[in-house]
Amino acid sequence: MKISLLHPSRGRARKSYDNAMMWVNLSGVPTELIVSLDRSDPSLKEYQRLYAGALVNDNTCVVEATNKAAAAAKGDILVYLSDDFKCFPNWGKAVIQEFEKHSGPVVLKVDDMLQPFHVRVLTIPIMNRRAYDRLGYFFHPGYKSMFVDEHLYHRAQRLNMLRLAPHLKFEHCHVSVGKAQDDETYRRSAANWNQGKHLFEVHKASG
């Protein structure tokens, strides 16, 4: 199995590069990195200096950038990679071993070490291609950022694709717990709270 890292990023060129290289180097298996950038990003040239062959599109949000990366990916397993996610040595081997336990479409819930595991959200979603094909997207395109991870959890559960992997621990070093500095990218995401909350409530009500 081949892994594709879906890496949307904005305004964090050096942080993005250092973190993405850590993930690639520690994977332990062949790993494809798909970097998805916004044409409107003031730091685009710095990204392009660091990354050869990055996708550049007129994205309006991180969901759109992620879905563009997923559409370009060639891997059997798709992993969402944000700038503030950490990994462990041979994480790629561990992920593949987990998928080998299951058949059919699978979306893994891993431990983000930020919130209790029972919380019904997929902050670091990992899915196989059969799950991606069944969903028709990686992230539901109606969202901009906020609540898209909750929607994915509920949708994967409803379709009986959700599998729990609490032993796979990928730390989410989020600004909300003081493990990252606040910046324009965090604020850009947080501004979509109301939009995401409303859409999520609509989807829950409709089943």
- pLDDT at position 176, please? 60
Contact 169, 113 (CB under 8 A): yes
- Is the pLDDT score of 180 beyond 70? no
Residues 28 and 204: their CA atoms lie apart, in Å, by 39
Residues 128 and 102: their CA atoms lie apart, in Å, by 10
Mean pLDDT, residues 117-143 taken together: 97
pLDDT exceeding 70 applies to what percent of the chain? 94
| Mean pLDDT, the chain, integer | 93
- pLDDT at position 178, please? 62
pLDDT, tens only, 85-94 = 999 999 999 9
Mean pLDDT, residues 177-197 taken together: 75
- Is the pLDDT score of 174 beyond 70? no
- Is the pLDDT score of 114 beyond 80? yes
Mean pLDDT, residues 142-146 taken together: 94
- pLDDT at position 37, please? 98
- Is the pLDDT score of 27 beyond 70? yes
Residues 53 and 48: their CA atoms lie apart, in Å, by 8
pTM of full prediction above 0.85: yes
Residue type, 178: G
